[in-house]
């Protein structure tokens, strides 16, 4: 059982004080009856709650696929910058967060959810989840870089070594500017940029294409998002799918 005002606030209907005001003004009904006490206890999974005639349904978890645009930061809130969570306008939950981080100038697939267990499974290096990127670099990428990345690259600075795990590099175009598809299983700070810097190249453009079994919907333009489909949700939750 949950307090009515807490339920409405958690489902994004307004701040705690705002929803208390709505309830006291008779704008909320539970199972067809107007309720005026914010502390009224409700069963969030069974009771039907309406605010000004609009059904407020309970959502324990939300899962959004976002095509992150450049210029937006991977954070939950920021006083100066637009965050990826700010882009999700129809969200019910106030506790959404991005699963992992993409640099401000990086585009592509980002999962936005409030499922901490799933986030840990996708991000933990111990689970070996593939993360695939399209990368455009200044410099000619050859089989030598393919072998270097597969063996692991030292992205440390000075005398301090920091080796990456093996990464798969597929050359799409090789020239003064090269295009590659790169798959890694970790997410060190600025990792891909540092990997190419380690072999004398500069990343010009970076876009994440997939994360595990979740692939960016080609129909989503930068800044657009949608809920995961049932199949996508089952794919990413695997053995934990039953609890969703």
d(CA 43, CA 45) in angstroms, rounded, equals 6
CA dist 108 → 82, 111, 229 (Å): 16, 10, 18
Which of the residues 47, 86, 95, 103 is marked catalytic? 103
Torsion angle defined by CA atoms of residues 133, 139, 142 and 145, in that order, rounded to the nearest 10 degrees: -60
Select from 139, 163, 159 the least CA-distant residue to 151: 163
CA dist 168 → 133, 145, 146, 150, 190 (Å): 11, 10, 7, 6, 17
Provide CB contacts within 8 A for 196, sequence distance 6+: 135, 137, 139, 202, 203
Q: 3-state class of 202 per DSSP? A: strand
Active site residue 103: yes
Other Cβ atoms within 10 Å of 179 Cβ, number? 17
Would you call 89 exposed, middle or buried from its count of C-beta atoms within 10 A (0-12, 13-18, 19+)?
Answer: exposed
Other Cβ atoms within 10 Å of 14 Cβ, number? 15
Positions marked catalytic? 103
């Amino acid at each position: 059982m949950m307090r009515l005002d807490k339920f409405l606030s958690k489902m994004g209907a307004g701040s705690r004080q705002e929803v208390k005001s709505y309830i006291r003004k008779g704008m909320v009904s539970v199972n067809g009856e107007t309720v005026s006490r914010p502390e009224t206890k409700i069963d969030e999974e069974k009771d039907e709650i309406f605010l000004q005639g609009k059904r407020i349904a309970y959502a324990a978890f939300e899962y959004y696929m976002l095509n992150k645009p450049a210029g937006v930061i991977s954070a939950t809130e920021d006083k100066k910058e637009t965050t990826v969570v700010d882009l999700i306008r129809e969200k019910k939950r106030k506790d959404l967060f991005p699963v992992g981080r993409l640099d401000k100038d990086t585009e592509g697939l980002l999962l936005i959810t409030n499922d901490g267990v799933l986030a840990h499974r996708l991000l933990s290096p111990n689970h070996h989840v593939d993360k695939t990127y399209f990368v455009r670099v200044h410099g000619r990428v050859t089989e030598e870089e393919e072998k270097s990345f597969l063996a692991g690259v030292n992205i440390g600075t000075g005398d301090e070594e920091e080796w990456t795990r093996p990464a798969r590099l597929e050359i799409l175009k090789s020239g003064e500017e090269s295009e590659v598809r790169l798959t890694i299983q970790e997410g060190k700070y600025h990792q891909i940029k540092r990997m190419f810097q380690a072999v004398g190249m500069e990343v010009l453009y970076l876009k994440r294409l997939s994360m595990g079994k979740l692939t960016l919907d080609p129909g989503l333009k930068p800044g657009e998002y949608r809920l995961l489909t049932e199949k996508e949700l089952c794919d990413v939750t695997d053995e934990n799918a039953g609890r969703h």
